[in-house]
Amino acid sequence: MLYNNDIDIAPILARKVAVIGYGSQGRAQALNLRDSGVDVTVGLRPKSPGREQAAADGVAVADVVEAVAAADVVAMLIPDEAQPAVYRSIEPSLREGATLVFAHGFNIYYGRIEPRADLDVVMAAPFGIGEKVRSLYEAGGGTAGMVAVDADASGHALSIALGFAKALGLGHGGVIETTFKEETETDLFAEQAVLCGGLTHLITAAYETLVGAGYAPEIAYFSCLHEVKLMADVIHTEGIARMRESISSTAAFGDATRGPRVINEQSRREMAAMLDEIRDGRFAEEQAREMAAGGPVLAEYRREAAGHSIEKVGRPLREAMKNED
């Protein structure tokens, strides 16, 4: 891990930065860069609602191509699926020897963007949503994060990436050097197996099991969904072993003897198969077909999720608990 004292911010202070996009990461990163003393301009479409927000935040805004043409470093902070077309539209305007910065390796690793040979291609990826990247920085800290270099045409790519990461505040949380391959594969796998796919399906299946057996949906909601945050917070701050020390011995015995039946040999085989599909490109191809077709699978999946009883039961409960805060 590299921390603030190990990283020189000078390479990024010496360069003009364009941040393309003013969404979750774009806003947080543009503001952190600016407050770290970096010369930053946000590039947005003519009618983007982000323009008003950026102006209110006191950040310079320009059209995408204009911002890119004036920059030494261009950070691609728009949705991953929008990046290939935007890259094609800005490529002619990118300065000779400029640096492209990504917050996720997907498009470079799967070849959806093939940058010009004179460009440096790097990653500065915070471990955290944009809101966190900004709020920790404002509090004098920062999230941890990763840097990687995919192309080093200038010979300075790593020092530019590190300077950029330090200006984002990542030197407070710590910076790990990785590769586009490792970041992309681990990020996709973690969101599929744990953070999104695994967690939501685990909660929903357990809830359905209780409700199907005749238990009150509200009680199923509290026990299988609401309490996840309490356990996740303990795991996050203390680790799994300490969490197991802090629960009752009845809970610990159930964990030890029943947990392996939920995540069993078949689940592990499926995890290995999912990782294979990520590594050999099958997942990315499947996702590209879905996007090209206008996202029918995702639309149906979201529609189903919104109509699930766990939502109908959870909404008023969450509303009521908000009022208590």
Which residues form the interface with ligand NDP (CB under 6 A)? 21-26, 44-45, 48-50, 64, 77-80, 82, 86, 103-104, 125-126, 129-130
Q: Which one among 57, 182, 185, 187 touches Mg ion, defined by CB under 5 A?
A: 187
Q: Using the rule CB under 5 A, give the single segment among 34-42, 140-148, 181-189, 273-281 that binds Mg ion.
A: 181-189
Q: Where are the alpha helices (DSSP H) in the chain?
A: 10-13, 24-35, 50-57, 64-69, 83-90, 106-109, 130-138, 157-167, 170-173, 180-190, 197-212, 217-221, 228-238, 240-246, 249-262, 265-279, 282-292, 296-307, 309-324
Please answer whether residues 167 and 40 qualify as being in contact, where contact means their C-beta atoms are separated by less than 8 angstroms. no
17 contact, one of ligand NDP, Mg ion, none, CB 5-8 Å limit per kind: none
111 φψ region: left (φ > 0), alpha (ψ -120 to 50), beta (else): left
Choice among 104, 156, 226, 236 that is catalytic:
104
Of 25 and 48, CB closest to Mg ion: 25
Q: Is 104 a catalytic residue?
A: yes
What's the CA gap between 136 and 120, in Å, rounded? 29
Of 33 and 77, CB closest to ligand NDP: 77
Of 16 and 132, CB closest to ligand NDP: 132
Of 17 and 278, CB closest to Mg ion: 278
Burial zone of 121 (CB within 10 Å; 0-12 exposed, 13-18 middle, 19+ buried): buried
Please answer whether residues 116 and 93 qualify as being in contact, where contact means their C-beta atoms are separated by less than 8 angstroms. no
If DSSP codes are grouped into helix, strand and coil, which group holds residue 175?
strand
Q: Determine the residue type at 155.
A: G
DSSP code for 129 = -
- Residue of closest CB approach to ligand NDP: 23
48 contact, one of ligand NDP, Mg ion, none, CB 5-8 Å limit per kind: ligand NDP
Of 72 and 183, CB closest to ligand NDP: 183
198 contact, one of Mg ion, ligand NDP, none, CB 5-8 Å limit per kind: none
187 contact, one of ligand NDP, Mg ion, none, CB 5-8 Å limit per kind: Mg ion
Closest Cα to residue 143, out of 3, 300, 324? 3
- For residue 299, the minimal CB distance to Mg ion (Å) is 20
Q: Using the rule CB under 5 A, give the single segment among 140-148, 190-198, 230-238, 317-325 that binds Mg ion.
A: 190-198
What's the CA gap between 295 and 298, in Å, rounded? 5
Please answer whether residues 148 and 180 qualify as being in contact, where contact means their C-beta atoms are separated by less than 8 angstroms. yes
- For residue 265, the minimal CB distance to ligand NDP (Å) is 33
Put the strands of the sheet holding 99-102 in their side by side order: 60-63, 39-44, 16-20, 73-76, 99-102, 120-126, 145-151, 175-177
- For residue 64, the minimal CB distance to ligand NDP (Å) is 6
DSSP labels, 179-196: -HHHHHHHHHHHIIIIIT
- For residue 283, the minimal CB distance to Mg ion (Å) is 12
Of 130 and 171, CB closest to ligand NDP: 130
97 contact, one of ligand NDP, Mg ion, none, CB 5-8 Å limit per kind: none
Sign of CA dihedral 69, 74, 80, 84: positive
78 contact, one of ligand NDP, Mg ion, none, CB 5-8 Å limit per kind: ligand NDP
- For residue 254, the minimal CB distance to ligand NDP (Å) is 34
Q: Using the rule CB under 5 A, give the single segment among 24-32, 159-167, 187-195, 252-260 that binds Mg ion.
A: 187-195
List residues with catalytic annotation: 104
Residues of this chain that bind Mg ion (CB under 5 A): 187, 191
